[in-house]
């Protein structure tokens, strides 16, 4: 629900001031009349009163179809639908009652015979006198003169008894004869022809007066109806403009939301592309780093291999120089040789052919090694042949 305020500086003279959701209210009470409908929305936090001109039934149908609120329609008595009584405003009901009484008075004056006019005039004068007394008493003690009313206030006394006073006064004036009532009877009936003539003139004067008053009343009613029609047309025009403004604002809001969604989508795509580029850059950097590490590892291994080759070459050179006094060849013993000795060189180093371990004289297993012996003249010769020294 959107609420607008008249503002001549705003576009189309309307400005949005409040907006509510259907879910903000739990129930609504609707009071329909002929020209307008009063809506009271009962909310969870506060209530909201709205008056809608002419199309109250349509709004009620929209609420029933598009919300889950409880709808309560106020039942109005028949008399509250009469012109002047719809708003139930005291002064409006007083004016309407007075006008309707005058209209009824003109009708009765035309229908009732002239013989009853004096009686009606006297009765109206009596009621007028009693009404004046009742007004004075009621302004002091309202409950004394309003026995049938639930609300006993001075305001009700004032409007009720003023209505009686004005009505009785109009009746007394309308039904008063043209000549004075104090005229002797002998003078009034001196001639039957004159009486008939006077009565005819009086009836004609009363009829002309009634027609003039009726024309004035009809003219006032027509002017009031015309003014209300113009006011209604202005209200409908303002309402139409408000609906157009609301539709325009709604379209603008949707366009802004669509633009925001597209902008968010574009930013998301740009972010995804940026992350993808960063991921590829990281993968490329990792790949290059791996290649660099591999090249570094290969270079290191190549350097180690060259160092090993150089070390082996140097060791071979050292072995060659060290064993230049020997026979350069290991000597295997003859298994039938009981001496288990090698007299071909000054060295007495034993090597086990199976375990590839050599023993020097004085070692723990030197004397125990008796089979599969390979003799070396020096430790360099043994190491050059692939043997390692015993740890014991």
The pLDDT tens digits of the residues spanning 75-120 come to 777 666 677 776 677 788 888 888 888 898 888 888 888 888 888 8
DSSP 69-113: -EEEEPPPPGGGGSTTTSS--HHHHHHHHHHHHHHHHHHHHHHS-
Q: Give the pLDDT confidence score for residue 207 in this predicted structure.
A: 65
Q: Give the pLDDT confidence score for residue 81 in this predicted structure.
A: 67
The 8-class DSSP code of residue 323 comes to G
Closest to 88 in 3D by CA, of 28, 40, 168, 159: 159
97 and 233 assigned to the same domain: yes
The answer to whether 323 and 381 are in contact (CB under 8 A) is yes
145 and 225 assigned to the same domain: yes
Size of the chain in residues: 392
List phi, psi (to 5°) of 375: -95, 140
The set of residues, in sequence order, having a beta carbon less than 8 Å from that of 76 and lying 6+ positions away, is 31, 32, 33
Give CA–CA dist 63/20, Å, rounded: 13
41 and 107 assigned to the same domain: no
Q: Give the pLDDT confidence score for residue 251 in this predicted structure.
A: 94
The pLDDT tens digits of the residues spanning 291-302 come to 999 999 988 988
DSSP 276-317: HHHHHHHHHHHHHHHHHHHHHHHHHHHHHHHHHHHHHHHHHH
What's the mean pLDDT in 200-209?
A: 58
Q: Is 191 inside a domain boundary?
A: no
**Does residue 44 register a pLDDT over 80?**
no
Q: Is 6 inside a domain boundary?
A: yes
Give CA–CA dist 250/248, Å, rounded: 5
Neighbours of 231 (CB within 10 A): 12
Highest average pLDDT, of 66-70, 145-149, 245-249, comes from 245-249
State which residues form the domain around 14.
2-76
208 and 338 assigned to the same domain: no
Highest average pLDDT, of 21-25, 314-318, 319-323, 379-383, comes from 379-383
Q: Give the pLDDT confidence score for residue 177 in this predicted structure.
A: 60
What's the mean pLDDT in 223-242?
A: 91
Give CA–CA dist 361/378, Å, rounded: 11
Give CA–CA dist 174/102, Å, rounded: 10
273 pLDDT tier (thresholds 50, 70, 90): very high
Strand, coil or helix: 325: helix
Q: Give the pLDDT confidence score for residue 208 in this predicted structure.
A: 67
Q: Which residues on adjacent β-strands are paired with residue 3?
A: 18
**Does residue 148 register a pLDDT over 80?**
no
116 and 50 assigned to the same domain: no
The pLDDT tens digits of the residues spanning 19-37 come to 778 778 888 898 877 678 8
Give CA–CA dist 212/206, Å, rounded: 10
What the block records as the tokens of 58 is 């349509």
Q: Give the pLDDT confidence score for residue 336 in this predicted structure.
A: 39
Counting the structural domains of the chain, the total is 3
Helix or strand holding residue 132 (H, E): helix 117-140
Helices (H), the chain: 56-66, 90-111, 117-140, 142-145, 154-174, 185-188, 192-322, 379-384
Closest to 48 in 3D by CA, of 16, 73, 25, 17: 25
**Does residue 189 register a pLDDT over 50?**
no
**Does residue 202 register a pLDDT over 70?**
no
54 and 97 assigned to the same domain: no
37 and 146 assigned to the same domain: no
What's the mean pLDDT in 131-146?
A: 86
Q: Give the pLDDT confidence score for residue 319 in this predicted structure.
A: 47
96 and 68 assigned to the same domain: no
List phi, psi (to 5°) of 32: -85, 140
Give CA–CA dist 314/312, Å, rounded: 5
Q: Is 259 inside a domain boundary?
A: no
**Does residue 325 register a pLDDT over 60?**
no
144 and 245 assigned to the same domain: yes
153 and 211 assigned to the same domain: yes
Q: Is 274 inside a domain boundary?
A: no
Closest to 24 in 3D by CA, of 67, 73, 72: 67
67 and 159 assigned to the same domain: no
The 8-class DSSP code of residue 6 comes to E
List phi, psi (to 5°) of 50: -135, 140
User: Which of residues 57, 76, 95 is at a domain's end?
Assistant: 76
User: Which of residues 76, 101, 118 is at a domain's end?
Assistant: 76
129 and 67 assigned to the same domain: no
Q: Is 136 inside a domain boundary?
A: yes
**Does residue 127 register a pLDDT over 60?**
yes
Q: Is 288 inside a domain boundary?
A: no
How many helices (DSSP H) and strands (DSSP E) are in the chain? 8, 11
Name the pTM for this structure.
Answer: 0.32
Token pair 């360099």 is at which residue?
A: 380
The set of residues, in sequence order, having a beta carbon less than 8 Å from that of 5 and lying 6+ positions away, is 14, 15, 17
What's the mean pLDDT in 279-307?
A: 91
Q: Is 44 inside a domain boundary?
A: yes
Q: Is 302 inside a domain boundary?
A: no
Q: Give the pLDDT confidence score for residue 293 in this predicted structure.
A: 92
CA diameter of the chain:
204
Strand, coil or helix: 31: strand
Residue 20 maps to which CATH number?
A: 3.30.720
**Does residue 366 register a pLDDT over 80?**
yes
What's the mean pLDDT in 307-314?
A: 74
């Amino acid at each position: 629900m959107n609420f607008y305020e008249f503002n001549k500086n705003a576009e189309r003279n309307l400005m949005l001031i409040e907006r509510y959701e259907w879910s903000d209210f739990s129930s609504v009470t609707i009071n329909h009349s002929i020209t307008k409908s009063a809506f009271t929305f009962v909310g969870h936090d506060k209530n909201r009163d709205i008056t809608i001109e002419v199309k109250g039934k349509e709004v009620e149908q929209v609420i029933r179809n598009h919300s889950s609120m409880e709808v309560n329609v106020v039942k109005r008595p028949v008399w509250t639908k009469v012109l002047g009584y719809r708003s139930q405003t005291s002064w409006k009901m007083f004016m309407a009652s007075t006008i309707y009484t005058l209209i009824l008075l003109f009708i009765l004056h035309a229908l009732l015979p002239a013989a009853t006019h004096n009686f009606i005039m006297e009765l109206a004068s009596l009621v007028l006198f009693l009404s004046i007394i009742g007004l004075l008493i009621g302004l002091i003690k309202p409950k004394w003169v309003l026995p049938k009313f639930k609300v006993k206030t001075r305001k009700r006394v004032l409007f009720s008894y003023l209505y009686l006073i004005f009505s009785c006064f109009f009746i007394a004036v309308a039904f008063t004869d043209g000549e004075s009532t104090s005229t002797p009877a002998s003078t009034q009936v001196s001639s039957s022809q004159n009486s008939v003539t006077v009565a005819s003139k009086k009836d004609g004067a009363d009829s002309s007066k009634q027609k003039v008053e009726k024309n004035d009343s009809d003219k006032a009613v027509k002017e009031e109806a015309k003014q209300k029609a113009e006011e209604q047309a202005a209200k409908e025009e303002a309402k139409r403009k408000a609906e157009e403004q609301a539709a325009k604002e709604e379209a603008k809001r949707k366009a802004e939301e669509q633009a925001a969604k597209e902008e968010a989508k574009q930013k998301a795509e740009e972010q995804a592309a940026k992350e993808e580029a960063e991921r590829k850059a990281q993968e490329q950097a990792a790949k290059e780093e791996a290649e660099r590490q591999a090249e570094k590892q290969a270079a290191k291994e190549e350097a180690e291999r060259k160092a090993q080759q150089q070390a082996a070459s140097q060791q071979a050179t050292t072995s060659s120089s060290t064993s230049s006094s020997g026979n350069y060849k290991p000597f295997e013993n003859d298994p039938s040789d009981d001496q288990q000795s090698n007299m071909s060189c000054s060295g007495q180093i034993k090597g086990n052919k199976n375990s590839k371990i050599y023993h020097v004289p004085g070692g723990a297993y030197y004397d125990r090694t008796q089979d599969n012996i390979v003799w070396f003249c020096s430790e360099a010769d043994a190491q050059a042949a692939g043997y390692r020294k015993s740890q014991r």
